[in-house]
Every structure is written in C-alpha cells, then in structure tokens.
Chain A
Amino acid sequence: MAVHSHKALIWLPFAAGGMLAAFVLPIMIVLTTGFLFPGALSYERAYAFADNWIGKLILLGVILLPMWHAAHRLRITAHDFGIHNDAAVRWACYVLAGVGSVLTVVFLLAI
C-alpha cells in the first residue's frame, strides 16, 4: 500500500543494530577480552568459529546491523546538530555502511 513509507527498510536494521549494540556487543566484548576465558580469541578458536555457516551468520549479524545502526544514527545526529544537507549526509552514511557490508560479506566468504 502506498501509504507506508519506505523508511521501514532503513529503520529495521537500525532498530535491530541498536538492540545488538546495547545488549549483545557488551557481552561479546567481555567474553572476548580474555579476562573471563583466557585463550577464547586464540587464532585456532576464532578461525574455527568463522569457518562454518552458523559462525559466519552470527559474525555477519553483529558486524552488519550495528554498522547500519551507526550510519542512520550519524545521519540523524547530523540533522539534530543543524547540518541540514540531508542528501549529502545520507549518501555519505549509507554508502559507507554499504561498502562496509559488502566488505564484511566478501571477507566472511573468503574464510
């Protein structure tokens, strides 16, 4: 239906990325700093994690979604700070997130 704005497409990864950044990433950072589980980030373990489809999917989610969250948040923050050239800001933010997304997929597939 024409009444629904396409902004939903941008907002969903933004909202999901925000949830991930708030709840999942802090725990992942704690888990991977090595204080609780020494050796958790050893090369062999990290490689094994990224070398199967479930691991790749998780990594894709926790990298890609917060990246789109950051892009949209920066765009809105620029607006709130009085930078009203939205076309340029939008272009810069989303292209950066888009390039980041493509690179993430490429690197994950290369493993």
Chain B
Amino acid sequence: MREIQLEVLRYSPETDSEPRFETFQVPCQEDWVVLDAINHVKDHMDSSLTYRWSCHMAVCGSCGMMVNGEPVLSCKAFIRDYPDKIRVEPLANFPIEKDLVVVMDDFMEKLKASKPYIIPKEEKSIDDGEYLQTPLQLEAFKQYSMCINCMLCYAACPQYALAPEFVGPAALALTYRYNKDSRDGGKAERAHMFSKSEGVWECSFVGACSEVCPKHVDPAAAIQLGKVESAVDYFKSFLMPWSR
C-alpha cells in the first residue's frame, strides 16, 4: 500500500469560472494504474468527479488524459512509475467539457470527413467471392489500422495546438491506412481532407504523435509518406488531368 497525492483538475461549467486543482490522498495498491486511483476517488471520496473510461485494458481509447504533463491512457500508466505526487488533467489542446472530459467534436468531425472506411474499387456480389489480399499488401497499412481514436496524438501535437484547423495525426494516419488498402478505391474522395493545406502539409514533422501513441502507430510516418504521394498527385493533376 502506497499513499499518493492525486492532483486532479476540476471544472464545472455551471459553477466554475475557470479550472482549479483539487488534491486527494489516495491509498494505492502496488499494481494500480492511474485510472484505478481516479476510480477510487470517484467511489470513495467524491462521486461528482467526471471522466471517461470503459475497458481498462488499452483497447477502447476513452481514458486518455494528461498525467504529469504527458498525454497517456490512464489505464496504461502504472502508479509505480510515478512519484508520490501525480497531477491529472484533461487532454491538452481540447476544450474542457467537465473535469477530465474534453469536447471531442473537432476530432470527430475531421475523422468523419476523412472517410476512414473502405470505399470499394468496384462493388462485388457475395457470389464473386472474397477480396483477396497478400501478406505484403496487408503490411502496407496494418500498423495504421491499430489506431483506437484515443486522441493522445492531438494532445501531443504542437502544430495542432498552434493551428486547430490542422486535420491532425490520427485522422491523417487513418486516411493513409485506407488509401493504402489494396481493396480500396476511395483515395480521390479522401483527397479534399488529406491533400489540402490543412491536411498533410500543415504537419511540421515534430514526431510527438508517434512518441505518445499507445498502440505503436506511427502517424508521423504516414503523414510524411502522404506528402510524397500528394506531391506526385499534385503534378499528375497538371500533367495528366485525365487521371482524376
């Protein structure tokens, strides 16, 4: 049993004019993660504490927050790796809805507009059989499909902080993932988000997105590779206007 000081950012839009910190003394077990400590506060100290979580196993992507200034999944951040004083804040670069809950609308709109789903090259009936894919074709996009939309990369990205219109790491990496899928034919439909100024070109290749990703996706690589492809498409649109 180890007692930690959990400093939690509190903000209630109805009563607070600005966010404040509240400190809780939390007795923690050796194998606890930060989310366990927050759950302990909710269950035993202050039931009004508001935050998102679901799976407790780094799959759902709900419990992302700033722990001692770094964006992490709180279910994957072990108390034993932190000092006795732990500061928990909502994800950076997003407006606060309440306490540790952020407003996700900006990300959700960008994600939706990016069309992150397979748009088949041609419709096939079930009788035509399955879409076959070689291991090499799978390798081209597999790592990018591991994204769980936890938005840690947006909280880490200094460019998103400076330019909120930037489409951002996760949405661009997912776009790249579907563009690279051999079953897909929707690249041209996604270009209005991917290849515009606020798409891949807004990235200044800091690489923080890839550092913080809990699923080891490399959005920075997807964006740089996307720049090469967008540049080629840019020139093709002049030299070969018939090629869409």
A4 to B199, CA, bound (A): 10
Residues of chain B within 8 A of A4, CB atoms compared: 191, 195-196, 230, 233-234, 237
A89 at the interface (CB under 8 A from B): no
Which residue of B162, B199, B206 contacts A5 across the interface (Cβ within 8 Å)?
Answer: B199
Determine if A11 and B195 form an interchain contact, defined as CB atoms under 8 angstroms apart: no
Q: Given A1-B191, A3-B195, A80-B204: A8 and B235 within 8 A (CB)?
A: yes
Known contacts A12-B231, A80-B162, A80-B204; can you find 9 more A-B pairs with CB under 8 A? A3-B195, A4-B196, A4-B233, A5-B195, A5-B196, A5-B197, A7-B201, A15-B228, A79-B162
Instruction: Give CA–CA (A3, B190) in the complex, Å.
Output: 10
Q: B197's closest neighbor in chain A, by CB?
A: A5
Known contacts A79-B162, A80-B158; is A3 also within 8 Å of B196 by CB? yes
The SS class assigned to the A binding surface is: helix
CB contacts under 8 Å to B, within A1-50, are 1, 3-9, 11-12, 15
Which residues of B pack against A, CB within 8 Å?
A: 158, 162, 191-192, 195-197, 199, 201, 204, 206, 227-228, 230-231, 233-235, 237, 244
Contact of B192 with A3 in the complex, beta carbons under 8 Å: yes
Q: Which residue of B lies closest to A6 (CB)?
A: B234
Closest to A1 in B: B237
A2 to chain B, nearest CB (A): 9
A11 to B191, CA, bound (A): 17
Q: What is the CB-to-nearest-CB distance from B194 to chain A, in angstroms, rounded to a whole number?
A: 8
Instruction: List the A side residues contacting B158 at CB < 8 Å.
Output: 80
A79 to B192, CA, bound (A): 25
Q: How far is the CA of A7 from the CA of B235 in the complex (A)?
A: 12
Nearest residue (CB) in B for A72 is B204
Chain B residue numbers with a CB within 8 Å of A79 are 162, 204
- Kindly provide the distance from the CB of A17 to the nearest chain B CB, expressed in whole angstroms: 14
Name the distance in Å between A66's Cβ and chain B's nearest Cβ.
17
A3 to chain B, nearest CB (A): 5
Given contacts A4-B195, A5-B195, A76 and B162 within 8 Å (CB-CB):
no
Cβ contacts under 8 Å, B204 to chain A: 76, 79-80
The residue on A at minimum CB distance from B206 is A80
Identify 17 residue pairs between A and B in the complex whose beta-carbon atoms are under 8 Å apart, listed by A's number: A1-B244, A3-B192, A3-B195, A4-B195, A4-B196, A4-B234, A5-B201, A7-B201, A8-B231, A8-B234, A11-B231, A15-B227, A15-B228, A79-B162, A80-B162, A80-B204, A84-B162
Partner of B230, one of A8, A76, A84: A8
Distance (whole angstroms) from the CB of A53 to the closest CB of chain B: 25
Q: How far is the CB of B168 from chain A (nearest CB, A)?
A: 16
Closest chain A residue, CB of each to CB of B231 = A8
CB distance from A76 to the nearest CB of B (A): 4
